[in-house]
Amino acid sequence: MDIEKTNPSLFFSHYGHHEAEPELFFAPGRVNLIGEHTDYNGGYVFPCALNFGTYLWIREIPEPVMRFASTNFDFKIQIPLQELAQKVNDEWINYPLGVIDQIIKRGSQPRGAELLYSGDIPNGAGLSSSASIELVTVQAIETLWNLKFSMMDKILISQTAENEFVGMNCGIMDQFAVANGQKDKALFLNCDTLDYELVPLELQDYRLIIANTKKRRGLTDSKYNERRSECNQAVQFIKKIKNINTLSGITLKEFLDLQDCISDPVIKRRAHHVISENHRVLEAIPALKAGHFKKFGKLMNESHDSLRRDYEVTGFELDTMVSEARTIDGVIGSRMTGAGFGGCTVSLVAQNQIEMFIDLVGDAYHKKTGLLPEFYLPEIGEGVRQISI
């Protein structure tokens, strides 16, 4: 827990004192260990919540406005309650505004409030800062406005806000992991049925290292929505032979038998990634449970290679980080994590090689890209919650 961000003086320095006291909420970031670009295809994913994320101080006020500020961005704004449904250019506040818009559409009456966000997730790094902002907002508004939402309500409010208000056609994985994370456990999630299992992340002599390429990505400006459209096209091809609703409605063996029904080679590659990635996740979970870490790492490697070759969402920086990681003894798996086009990699590294990994990979990456990477040794943390102060 970040002591500075949990000190109420941070809030008072922005908004001053008032007879009402502010309350503090927190939502984590997340890292996905394997299962990329499968969530919006109704497939399998394996994310976990992190010990860093977004803090939100919030206080009710009598004025009919909501005030938004952040310690991470200069932009701040005061919005009359009757204008909360209006998007504000491409600013960060569209994420909380989208959430509040969804809550109001569910029949709630807005009330005046002051909100201060403070995050320690690198923006645009692929660690789900957007879902973290969304979930912490819905948790705080629920408390402030005396509402009652189930955890699934909070997840769907957040996802819908990002889809419809922000314009990012994301799946449900990020919000689900941020909401339901548990300490030292990862979530094996079926994104079609939303059935999930909490799997202990007992890595023994290995450690997860997240490497930030510092290649920032803007998802709504990227090819993310294009990939989703390509997957929908693949479904239409396959439907001529087998009735499916998503690419996850077909096994890898079935796909290999009927793939020639997809006449477009690009669409075929997109489908091959999604369907083979589902297969990898289904192999990875029992491998991890049995302590077969090298097999789990091999599947991580295969995941990245498929994302590079078939799905084409990696790029020079991510591929460089992964290739340099794989040269280090004790690295048994390395892959991009998140939507791609920049952001982070996640690697499974022997405990006694961590310093060497950071030094050698960081130096080689900098020489090849001109970018100075950052490395994180995350702990697996809890989901969204209120913090007692």
pLDDT of residue 4: 75
The CATH code that applies to domain 9-198 is 3.30.230.10
Judge whether 192 and 246 are in contact, CB under 8 Å.
yes
Catalytic residue (one of 101, 120, 153, 174): 174
Residues 6+ apart with CB under 8 A from 388: none
Judge whether 177 and 48 are in contact, CB under 8 Å.
yes
Judge whether 145 and 108 are in contact, CB under 8 Å.
yes
Question: Residue 239: how many CB atoms within 10 A of its CB?
Answer: 13
pLDDT of residue 128: 78
Cα dihedral across residues 144, 145, 151, 156: positive or negative = negative
pLDDT tens for the 389 residues of the chain, in order: 676 778 888 999 999 998 789 999 999 999 999 999 999 999 999 999 999 999 999 999 999 999 999 999 999 999 999 999 999 988 999 999 999 999 999 999 999 999 999 998 877 667 778 999 999 999 999 999 999 999 999 999 999 999 999 988 888 999 999 999 999 999 999 999 999 999 999 999 999 999 999 997 655 456 888 999 999 999 999 999 999 999 999 999 999 999 999 999 999 999 999 999 999 999 999 999 999 999 999 999 999 999 999 999 999 999 999 999 999 999 999 999 998 989 999 999 999 999 999 999 999 999 999 999 999 999 999 999 999 87
Strand partners, 349: 207, 331
pLDDT of residue 218: 57
Is residue 90 left, alpha or beta, with left meaning phi > 0 and alpha meaning psi from -120 to 50?
alpha
Q: Would you give the distance in Å from CA 161 to the centre of its chain?
A: 15
174 in active site: yes
- pTM to 2 decimals? 0.92
pLDDT of residue 222: 63
Identify the burial level of 253 via C-beta atoms within 10 angstroms of its C-beta, where 0-12 means exposed, 13-18 middle and 19 or more buried.
exposed
Q: How far apart are CA 74 and CA 207, in angstroms?
A: 36
Q: How far apart are CA 219 and CA 121, in angstroms?
A: 16
Judge whether 175 and 40 are in contact, CB under 8 Å.
no
Domain boundaries, the chain: 9-198
Q: How far apart are CA 94 and CA 259, in angstroms?
A: 41
How do strand 113-119 and strand 65-70 relate by DSSP bridges? parallel
Contacts within 8 Å (CB) and 24+ apart, 323-326 = 324/360, 324/361, 324/364, 324/365, 324/368, 325/211, 325/349, 325/357, 325/361, 326/301
Q: Indicate the DSSP class of residue 21.
A: P
